[in-house]
Amino acid sequence: MFNDCTLRLTEFGAGRYRNTDLRENDLSALRGVANLAKVRIDHSQQADLAEALVGELDIVLGDD
């Protein structure tokens, strides 16, 4: 369990993270999002996880 961590640029590689409790952590800058199947997060962390995925996939956001 991680508690109240920034996890800035923390990278989750291939592994087993099922039921890892990531609630109450900043997930916006972590790496290896695709490897986090079956972890536990709060509803409010969905935006952080999406931000991390956008960063990891180097997606460009724009109004064009």
φ, ψ for residue 11, nearest 5 deg: -115, 125
pLDDT of 64: 65
Q: Residue 27, SS3?
A: coil
Instruction: Give residue 19's pLDDT.
Output: 93
Over residues 5-61, the pLDDT tens digits come to 888 878 999 999 999 999 999 998 899 999 999 999 999 999 999 999 999 899 998
Measured between alpha carbons, how far is residue 51 from residues 16, 34, 58 in Å? 22, 13, 10
**Dihedral angle of Cα 25, 30, 31, 34, to the nearest 10 degrees:** 40
User: Are residues 33 and 49 in contact, defined by beta-carbon separation less than 8 angstroms?
Assistant: yes
